[in-house]
Amino acid sequence: MNITKNIHEWLFSLMPETTASIVEMVLIAVIYLAIFAVAGLYLVLLERRVAAWFQLRLGPNRVGYQGLLQTMADALKLVSKELTVTIKADKFLYNLAPYFVIVTALMALSLFPFSKEFQAFDINIGIFFLTAISSIGVIGILLAGWSSNNKFSLIGAMRSGVQTISYELSVGLSLLTMVVMTGSLQLSQIVEVQKSGWLIVQGHIPAIIAFCIYMVAGTAETNRAPFDLVEAESELGAGFHTEYSGMKFAYFFLAEFINMFIIAAIATTIFFGAYLSPFGITESIPLLGVFWFLAKTLALVFLMMWFRWTFPRLRIDQLLVLEWKYLLPLNLMNLILMALMVLLGLTIKF
């Protein structure tokens, strides 16, 4: 984009190279932070409205037009609340934990190709980096549960550990299945491959199976219902963030929604051609790529909300049976199927 190029040149003419690149990084980070803090808030609102519609209610519609300012008001309330700490909490880790969760969530965002030129960090191990980053988040959750010195928090954190470590495998393997087809981990390369058909079309049967497994495992990764036994309200209070209040709680809450966005965005990039328009109808206007990316991502976010408000919570044994007895063997079979397909040239290309 022209504006970013102009700013880039202006910064580099103004100061030495290293300072300029650091300033540029900080600028980009601040912009991403601002955009996604607000986007996270609106995802919360979307979740609440969608949840209401699924339950034949209306949802928050009083603050601002159709409740558009509701989550802003909620955030304002959370900022103004007192930050309570339990006496026996491990203060240092207790205060550190929310930042682990939110920082990893925001770091993952930098990789997504929102349009051809709107990508902050195009690293050549893109997908590997994404899965690695998203598994660091669980350390924050474990720290939060451990340092709160509360049995509910600890149980919630341990469940989260079990869940994330198990389902990480499925997420990784289902993405690996797609990587077999793209031959690259770099996200911009993956989008380039999809110019001849989105990967879910190119890979047909194994790709659809991989997508289903990815959505199930991705929902589990974000600790959302039906895999929300991490914070199961009826058993554990609020799970790992029982002892958090005010803004620290808001960080966990925001991270959950940004993680949901990330899972949907990864699926968009890998399966649905990221910023590419369907049938190439708007390829001449590159700026519309952002629209297509967000539209696809929000459709997948909606799918995850649909899951949440339809399915009842799994028990811990059902959770592990689902992963280790069903998703993992299916995934391995699917990987072989995909490899065979690529080897025999059975993929569909336009």
Partner 1 sequence: MSYFSDIYHAVKSLLTGMSVTGKYFLHSRKGAITQQYPENRDTLKMFERFRGEVVMPHDENNMHRCTGCQKCELACPNGSIEIIWDRQIDPETGKKKKMIDKHIYHLGMCTMCGLCIEACPTDAIKWAQNFENSVYDRTQLTKVLNKPGSRLLPGVED
Shortest distance, position 321 Cβ to partner 1, whole Å: 11
Count of residues that bind partner 1 according to CB under 8 A: 15
Would you tell me how many other CB atoms lie within 10 Å of the CB of residue 52? Answer: 16
Helices within the chain (DSSP H only):
2-14, 17-54, 70-80, 91-109, 126-147, 151-182, 187-193, 199-202, 204-221, 233-236, 246-271, 288-308, 316-321, 328-344
200 SS3 class: helix
Q: Could you give the CA distance from residue 256 to residue 241 in angstroms, rounded to a whole number?
A: 12
Cis before residue 113, ω within 30 degrees of 0?
A: no
Q: Could you give the CA distance from residue 127 to residue 115 in angstroms, rounded to a whole number?
A: 17
Shortest distance, position 103 Cβ to partner 1, whole Å: 34
Binding mask 49-88 for partner 1 (x = CB under 8 A): -x-xxxxxxx------------------------------
Residue 298 lies near partner 1 (rule: CB under 8 A):
no
Report the residue number, 25 or 321, with the smaller CB distance to partner 1: 321
Q: Could you give the CA distance from residue 168 to residue 240 in angstroms, rounded to a whole number?
A: 19
Q: Which stretch binds partner 1 (CB under 8 A): 19-27, 121-129, 182-190, 304-312?
A: 304-312
Q: Which stretch binds partner 1 (CB under 8 A): 21-29, 172-180, 238-246, 306-314?
A: 306-314
Shortest distance, position 58 Cβ to partner 1, whole Å: 4
Q: Which stretch binds partner 1 (CB under 8 A): 7-15, 165-173, 283-291, 308-316?
A: 308-316
Q: Which stretch binds partner 1 (CB under 8 A): 117-125, 126-134, 186-194, 309-317?
A: 309-317
Per DSSP, 314 falls in state P
Q: Could you give the CA distance from residue 289 to residue 295 in angstroms, rounded to a whole number?
A: 10
Binding mask 14-53 for partner 1 (x = CB under 8 A): ------------------------------------x-xx
Residues near partner 1 (CB under 8 A):
50, 52-58, 306-307, 309-311, 326, 330
